[in-house]
């Protein structure tokens, strides 16, 4: 029997019993969601996990903490604007920041393939050290395993992190309300296209550089200055479209995006057109989406424009009371259409 195919039986349609893991299960889109919901969340069931935020939030002896983990398998290991080490630190730092926390301590677990040049490992570890320094976090514990040739592809890294939740922060889907505005911190899709072009040796008229960067400095200032911010999320795997669909579903609201306001570099659009990708589904590694009451939008933008990582920030849409749980896109020509979650695989091993 075959994976992922409907087989007609007795006039009805049934899903196959012996399903296998497909690359699409790792895309961050609908398949990933179903997999996580049906297998992991149902097994580990608890209220902290059920929030399905970028990290878990809890209190220990009255101190509010955030805790998160992420694994990195990006291919190739080095790409314009970053490498697997930088990514492994930024990803976890940003996940903590999205919980409204100040990231403090990280762990680093390495799975190394027999035959990996030690010089390469040194380069990756040095990149982690430098990124941790920029982000102001300390890597305090770790683990190293080596597996035989072919069992992994060079190096995989897992990082986990712990952070202290900022006293002003209240990042929760239930605070997202109709009338609020949606702000994105800059150009979409740069990371995915940088990695893809390096992987496939595409020669582009101008090099596209990954946006991979720690956002915790920016987020800390935003949350301190604008406590009205109701929601933060970094649109990584699955891209902006997937992130907004998750928020719309969690908050029970509709979201309307304006296509003309979406920041996408022309060279990213061009590559997407060529390869059949959509920028709104491409992974970003140094971007944040912010939800805030309209009257605070200008203040948020003013702060964002002072940081290099968010210099191109802009308002891209509004929260609506129509079509709850769904995201709509108002196109350049004025039509309105659904912006659905990513279905199937778009780009494997992008982070």
Partner 1 sequence: MRLTAEETARAADFLTQAIAKLAQRPVRLMEVCGTHTVSIFRNGIRQLLPPTVELVSGPGCPVCVTPNQYLDTAIAYSGREDTILATFGDMLKVPGSQSTLMAEKTQGADIRIVYSPLESLTMARDNPEKAVIFLAVGFETTAPTAAATILQAAQQGLDNFFVLSAHKLVPPALRTILAAPDIRVDGFLLPGHTAAISGFAPYQFVVSEYQVPAVITGFEALDILQAIYMLLAQIAAGKAELANQYRRVVKPAGNEAAWNILQQVYQPAAAIWRGFGEIADSGLALRPEYSAFDAKLRLPLAAVVTREPAGCRCGEVLCGRIRPKDCPHFGHSCTPEHPVGACMVSVEGACAAWYKYGQGRWNYA
- Helix, strand, coil in percent for the chain, rounding step 5: 35, 25, 40
Minimum distance from residue 27 beta carbon to partner 1 (Å): 11
Q: Is 150 in the site for partner 1 (CB under 8 A)?
A: no
As given in the structure block, the two tokens for residue 40 are: 């992991």
Q: How far apart are CA 65 and CA 111, in angstroms?
A: 28
Residues 313-342 vs partner 1: string with x where CB under 8 A? ---------xx--x-xxxxxxxxxxx-x--
Q: How far apart are CA 240 and CA 341, in angstroms?
A: 9
Q: Is 311 in the site for partner 1 (CB under 8 A)?
A: no
Of the two residues 5 and 60, which places its CB atom closer to partner 1 in the complex? 5
What is the number of residues in the chain? Answer: 351
Provide the 10 A C-beta neighbour count for residue 154.
18
Query: Of residues 167-226, which lie at the interface with partner 1 (CB under 8 A)?
Result: none
Q: Is 344 in the site for partner 1 (CB under 8 A)?
A: yes
Of the two residues 47 and 334, which places its CB atom closer to partner 1 in the complex? 334
Residue from 11, 47, 201, 205 in contact with partner 1 (CB under 8 A)? 11
Look at residues 93, 78, 81, 98 and name the one whose alpha carbon lies nearest to residue 159. Answer: 93
Of the two residues 205 and 334, which places its CB atom closer to partner 1 in the complex? 334
The residue behind tokens 């609506």 is 320
- Asked if residue 81 has a cis previous peptide bond (ω within 30° of 0), the answer is no
Provide the 10 A C-beta neighbour count for residue 284.
29
Residues 49-78 vs partner 1: string with x where CB under 8 A? ------------------------------
Of the two residues 6 and 174, which places its CB atom closer to partner 1 in the complex? 6
Q: How far apart are CA 97 and CA 165, in angstroms?
A: 9
Of the two residues 6 and 144, which places its CB atom closer to partner 1 in the complex? 6
Instruction: List the beta strands (DSSP E) in 166-301.
Output: 181-184, 231-233, 254-258, 289-292
Minimum distance from residue 174 beta carbon to partner 1 (Å): 23
CA-based Rg of the chain, rounded to a whole angstrom? Answer: 20
Q: How many helices (H) and strands (E) does the chain have?
A: 10, 16
- Binding residues for partner 1, rule CB under 8 A, total 36
Residue from 22, 41, 228, 324 in contact with partner 1 (CB under 8 A)? 22
Minimum distance from residue 320 beta carbon to partner 1 (Å): 9
Count CA within 13 A, CB hemisphere, residue 89.
Answer: 26
Of the two residues 260 and 294, which places its CB atom closer to partner 1 in the complex? 260
Among 3-11, 88-96, 127-135, 279-287, the segment contacting partner 1 (CB under 8 A):
3-11
Contact 220, 315 (CB under 8 A): no
Minimum distance from residue 290 beta carbon to partner 1 (Å): 23
Going by their DSSP bridges, the two strands 155-165 and 336-338 should be labelled as: unpaired
Of the two residues 127 and 346, which places its CB atom closer to partner 1 in the complex? 346
Residue from 17, 20, 154, 228 in contact with partner 1 (CB under 8 A)? 20
Query: Rounded to 5 degrees, what are φ and ψ at 329?
Result: -120, 125
DSSP result, 114-140: TT--HHHHHHHHHHHHHHHHHHT-EEE
Residues 279-308 vs partner 1: string with x where CB under 8 A? ------------------------------
Minimum distance from residue 256 beta carbon to partner 1 (Å): 8
Contact positions vs partner 1 (CB under 8 A)? 2-6, 8, 11-13, 15, 20, 22, 30-31, 34, 254, 260, 275-276, 322-323, 326, 328-338, 340, 343-344
């Amino acid at each position: 029997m075959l994976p992922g195919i409907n087989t007609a039986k007795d006039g009805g349609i049934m899903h196959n019993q012996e399903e296998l893991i497909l690359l699409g299960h790792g895309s961050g889109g609908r398949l990933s969601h179903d997999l996580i919901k049906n297998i992991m969340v149902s097994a580990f069931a608890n209220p902290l996990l059920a929030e399905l935020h970028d990290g878990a939030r809890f209190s220990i002896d009255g101190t509010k903490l955030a805790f998160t983990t992420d694994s990195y398998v990006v291919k190739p290991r080095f790409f314009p604007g970053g490498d697997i080490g930088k990514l492994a630190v930024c990803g976890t730092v940003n996940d903590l920041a999205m919980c409204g926390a100040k990231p403090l301590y990280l762990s680093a677990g390495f799975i190394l393939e027999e035959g990996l040049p030690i010089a390469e490992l040194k380069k990756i570890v040095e990149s982690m050290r430098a990124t941790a320094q920029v982000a102001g976090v300390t890597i305090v514990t770790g683990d190293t395993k080596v597996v035989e040739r072919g069992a992994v592809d060079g190096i995989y890294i897992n990082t986990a992190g712990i952070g202290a939740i900022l006293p002003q922060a209240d990042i929760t889907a239930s605070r997202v309300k109709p009338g609020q505005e949606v702000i994105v911190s800059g150009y979409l899709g740069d990371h995915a296209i940088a990695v893809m072009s390096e992987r496939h040796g595409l020669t582009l008229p101008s090099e596209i550089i990954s946006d991979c960067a720690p956002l915790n400095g920016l987020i800390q200032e935003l949350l301190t200055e604008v406590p009205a911010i109701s929601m933060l999320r970094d649109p990584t795997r699955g891209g902006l479209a997937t992130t907004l669909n998750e928020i719309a579903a969690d908050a029970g609201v509709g979201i309307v995006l304006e296509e003309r306001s979406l920041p996408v570099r022309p060279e990213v659009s061009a590559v997407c057109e060529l390869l059949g990708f959509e920028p709104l589904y491409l992974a970003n590694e140094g971007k944040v989406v912010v939800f805030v009451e309209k009257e605070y939008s200008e203040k948020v933008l003013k702060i964002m424009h002072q940081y290099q990582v968010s210099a191109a920030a802009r308002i891209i849409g509004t929260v609506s009371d129509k079509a709850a749980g769904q995201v709509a896109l108002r196109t350049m020509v004025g039509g309105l259409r659904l912006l659905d979650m990513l279905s199937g695989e778009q780009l494997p091993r992008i982070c």
